[in-house]
Amino acid sequence: MLEVSDLVIKYNDFVAVNNIRLSASDDEFIGIIGPNGSGKSTLLRAISGFYRPTQGNVFLDEKDIYKMSPKERAKNISFVPEEVDTAFAFTVKEIVLMGRYPYQRHFLSEEKEDFRIAERNLRLLEIEELANRYINELSSGEKQRVIIARALCQESRFMLLDEPTSHLDISHQVEILDIIKRLNVAKKITVIIVMHDLNLASEYCDRILLLKKGNIYAEGTPDEIITYQNIEYVYNTVVVVNKNPVSGKPHILSVPQWNKGDATI
C-alpha cells in the first residue's frame, strides 16, 4: 500500500499542492489530470521521493519513503519524467541498464541477469535497434521510450509516469499505454500517471484524480470524473462528453468558441 497523507508543497508563499490524500494498492491504474499549473507534476515528484513536502508524508507499507535509502526506494518506485536530460552522451543500452542500479552490488558491475532484463525491455519497447545509438541523437519520442524501458528494468511495484506519451505520435501513444496497462494487470504493478489527454486517461485509468489549483477537486472512476460539468468548471472551456462507441468510456469533444463572423483579435 502506498499512502499519501496530508501532503502540502509550498514555494515561498505559493501553495503548489494543498492537503492531498491518496491511497494506492496493488494493480491500480490511477490517473492525475488537471489544467496546467494545477500541481500534477509536483505531486507526482513528491510521491516518487524527488521533492520533500512542506508537510505531510508518503508511506510505503507504513515506511516513510523519505527515510528510505535511494536504492531501497528505487526497488519499489520507478519514475518516468516528462522531459529527458541528455546532457551526457550515454548509449541507449547504457541508459536502460541504469535501471538495474538498485540491484548492483558495485556501481557499473552488471551481471548476466541485468543484461537479460535490459535486452527484454529494449525488445518490449521496440528499440533494440537503437541499443548502440547515443541518447542525444534520438528524437523526443525515441528518448521517451528509452526512459520507460529504463524504468521497467527497475522491476518496481509502483511506476510513476509524468506525461509519458507527450512526445509520441498517436500510434505509439496507444502502444506504450497498452504495454503499461498489460504490466499493470499481469504483474500487478501499480501505475500512477499524469496525463493531459483526457480521452486516454478515460480509456486506461481505473481511478482518476482531478486537480484544481493544487487541490483534489474530484476523485473517482472515469464515468464519475469525465463529465462535462467537471471539465468545463476545472478547465474553463466548453466540451461535449459522450461515449466511445467501442469501449463505452467517456469521450470528450472540444467545442470551438470563435465566431467565423468575428475574426478580430
Q: How many angstroms separate the CA atoms of 199 and 148, rounded?
A: 21
CA 143 to chain centre: 15
Q: Supply φ then ψ for residue 217, to 5 degrees.
A: -80, -40
54-89 pLDDT, tens digit per residue, is: 999 999 999 999 999 999 999 999 999 887 776 778
Question: Is 127 within the bounds of a domain?
Answer: yes
Q: How many angstroms separate the CA atoms of 225 and 233, rounded?
A: 12
Question: Is 92 within the bounds of a domain?
Answer: yes
pLDDT of residue 171 exceeding 90, the answer is: no
The average pLDDT across 104-108 equals 66
pLDDT of residue 142 exceeding 90, the answer is: no
Residue in 152, 200, 160 with CA at minimum distance from that of residue 42 = 160
Domain containing 240 equals 2-254
pLDDT of residue 149 exceeding 60, the answer is: yes
- pLDDT of 23: 93
Burial (Cβ within 10 Å: 0-12, 13-18, ≥19) of residue 260: exposed
- pLDDT of 247: 94
Q: Please say whether the beta carbons of 179 and 187 come within 8 A.
A: no
Number of residues that this document lists for the chain: 265
Q: How many angstroms separate the CA atoms of 23 and 141, rounded?
A: 31
- pLDDT of 139: 86
Question: Is 265 within the bounds of a domain?
Answer: no
DSSP 129: G
Of 15-19, 79-83, 173-177, the range with the highest mean pLDDT is 15-19
pLDDT band at residue 207, thresholds of 50, 70 and 90? very high
Question: Is 55 within the bounds of a domain?
Answer: yes
Question: Is 227 within the bounds of a domain?
Answer: yes
**Cell reading at 153:** 528494468
pLDDT band at residue 103, thresholds of 50, 70 and 90? confident
222-250 pLDDT, tens digit per residue, is: 999 999 999 999 999 999 999 999 999 99
Alpha helix locations (H) across the chain? 40-48, 70-76, 92-97, 112-124, 140-153, 170-186, 198-204, 222-225, 228-235
Give the total number of structural domains in the chain.
Answer: 1
Burial (Cβ within 10 Å: 0-12, 13-18, ≥19) of residue 56: middle
Q: Is 217 helix (H, G, I), strand (E, B) or coil?
A: strand
Question: CA-based angle 47:41:250, to the nearest 5?
Answer: 105
pLDDT of residue 110 exceeding 60, the answer is: yes
Question: Is 260 within the bounds of a domain?
Answer: no
pLDDT mean across residues, the chain: 90
pLDDT of residue 261 exceeding 70, the answer is: no
Percent of the chain with pLDDT over 90: 69
Question: Is 209 within the bounds of a domain?
Answer: yes
Question: Is 228 within the bounds of a domain?
Answer: yes
Q: Please say whether the beta carbons of 191 and 184 come within 8 A.
A: yes
The average pLDDT across 19-37 equals 93
CATH at 248: 3.40.50.300
Within 10 A of 138 (CB to CB), how many other CB atoms are there? Answer: 19
